[in-house]
């Protein structure tokens, strides 16, 4: 990344920091049951960037995708995603430390790591006793927690992003710290899963439906024309996409009754063949325009 940045006269160190921070947020700060296995960082010569990450839940085999875009990020630790797409696998609320309502928890975490490590470890041991159900001893690796606390105390961290970037801070240790902060300071860390499930282009494994190649290629064609137009100074189509996204989000925010997902998927599978539906298990030769480079 630094080599690419140098050739484009960009700040490679800053781009590398952004890349690491985004990976830490999606893997550690959002405990949704998915472990990252793919991280793609795309940057233009002007310095605009997009990140697409994918996580996998080993128990269910389901994947989840996390989307970021430099134009929409105002604060990396305050609802920074342009989209999170996937199905929920954890019933109820999940730990999400970049949710807007989690800002008090971020402050509490910084207060916890800002005090003497011995004090926090003693508090953790006390909270892990059987009479407390909030935190259990099995949830805390005291050796790892002690190392993280010592490093954080030494660094004198001033913001939540710096805490997330600690070399030794993994998802389990961050969850332990969040539990301690929640009990000691009364700051909630668990909220509704932010993922929005999308099935416009199916799934390569056939779930929830085969990938409709005709729809896929037409979508790419529309995006290709929109990008070509924007390069010529005509931004109407891209503006239209933004308006459509805003319209959809407004409808979702009104908490309308959920559509019949099962019926919708049955319909998608029924019409799959007419749309060139395909999965990775098919042995047909593909002649598709989906390999077009958009940048």
Per-residue pLDDT 10s for the chain (295 aa) are: 788 888 889 999 999 999 999 999 999 999 999 999 999 999 999 999 999 999 999 998 888 999 999 999 999 999 999 999 888 899 999 999 999 999 999 999 999 999 999 999 988 887 765 444 444 545 578 888 999 999 999 999 999 999 999 999 999 999 989 988 998 899 999 999 998 776 667 777 777 778 888 887 888 788 778 777 777 676 776 677 677 677 666 656 665 555 566 777 778 788 888 888 888 778 654 444 444 343 3
As a whole number, the mean pLDDT across the chain is 83
**Is there a domain that residue 166 lies in?**
yes
Q: Which residues are 39's β-sheet partners?
A: 53
Q: CA–CA separation, 1 vs 9, rounded Å? A: 12
**Is there a domain that residue 200 lies in?**
no
**Residue 188: how many CA atoms within 13 Å on its side-chain side?**
8
Do residues 244 and 174 both lie within one domain? Answer: no
Do residues 154 and 26 both lie within one domain? Answer: yes
What's the pLDDT score for residue 256? 52
**Model confidence pLDDT, tens digit, residues 208-226:** 778 888 887 888 788 778 7
* Consecutive H or E run containing 180: helix 171-185
Q: CA–CA separation, 280 vs 199, rounded Å? A: 17
Q: CA–CA separation, 245 vs 189, rounded Å? A: 28
- 3-class SS string, 189-215: CEECCCCCCCCCCCCCCCCCCCEEHHH
Q: How many other C-beta atoms can be found within 10 angstroms of the C-beta atom of residue 227?
A: 13
Do residues 136 and 56 both lie within one domain? Answer: yes
Do residues 173 and 255 both lie within one domain? Answer: no
What's the pLDDT score for residue 240? 72
Do residues 174 and 75 both lie within one domain? Answer: yes
**Is there a domain that residue 243 lies in?**
yes
DSSP 247-281: HHHHHHHTTPPPP-HHHHHHHHHHTTGGGTEE-TT
Do residues 223 and 184 both lie within one domain? Answer: no
What's the pLDDT score for residue 124? 83
Q: Which residues are 49's β-sheet partners?
A: 43
Contacts of 151 (CB under 8 A, 6+ apart): 166, 167, 168
CA angle (183, 189, 193) in 5-degree steps: 150
Residue 67 dihedral angles phi and psi, to the nearest 5°: -115, 135
Do residues 171 and 229 both lie within one domain? Answer: no
Q: How many other C-beta atoms can be found within 10 angstroms of the C-beta atom of residue 204?
A: 13
Q: Which of 156, 191, 226 is the last residue of a domain?
A: 191
Phi/psi-derived region of residue 248, left when phi > 0, alpha when psi is between -120 and 50, beta in every other case: alpha
What's the pLDDT score for residue 267? 80
Do residues 51 and 133 both lie within one domain? Answer: yes
Domain housing 252? 211-291
Total domain count, the chain = 2
Sheet of strand 190-191, all strands in order from the earlier edge strand to the far edge:
30-31, 94-96, 190-191
């Amino acid at each position: 990344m630094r080599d690419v940045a140098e050739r484009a006269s960009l700040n490679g160190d800053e781009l590398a920091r952004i890349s690491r921070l985004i990976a830490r947020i999606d893997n550690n700060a959002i405990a949704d049951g998915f472990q990252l296995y793919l991280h793609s960082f795309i940057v233009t010569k002007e310095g605009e960037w997009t990140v697409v990450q994918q996580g996998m839940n080993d128990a269910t085999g389901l994947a989840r995708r996390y989307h970021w875009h430099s134009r929409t990020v105002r604060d990396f630790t305050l609802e920074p995603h342009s989209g999170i797409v996937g199905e929920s696998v954890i019933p109820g609320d999940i730990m999400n430390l970049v949710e807007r309502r989690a800002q008090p928890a971020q402050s509490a975490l910084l207060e916890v790591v800002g005090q003497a490590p011995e004090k926090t470890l003693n508090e953790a041991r006390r909270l892990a006793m059987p009479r407390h159900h909030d935190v259990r001893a099995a949830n805390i690796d005291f050796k790892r927690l002690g190392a993280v606390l010592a490093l954080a105390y030494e660094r004198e961290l001033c913001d939540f992003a710096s805490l997330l970037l600690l070399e030794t801070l993994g998802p389990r240790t961050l969850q332990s710290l969040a539990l301690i902060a929640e009990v000691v300071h009364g700051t909630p860390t668990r909220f509704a899963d932010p993922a929005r499930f999308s099935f416009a282009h199916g799934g390569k494994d056939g779930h929830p439906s085969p990938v409709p190649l005709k729809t896929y290629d037409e979508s790419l064609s529309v995006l290709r024309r929109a990008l070509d137009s924007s390069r010529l100074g005509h931004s109407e189509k891209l503006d239209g996409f933004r308006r459509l996204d805003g319209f959809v989000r407004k409808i979702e925010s009104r908490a309308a009754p959920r559509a019949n997902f099962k019926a919708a998927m049955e319909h998608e599978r029924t019409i799959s063949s007419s749309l060139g539906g395909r999965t990775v298990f098919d042995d047909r030769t593909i002649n598709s325009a989906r390999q077009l480079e958009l940048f």
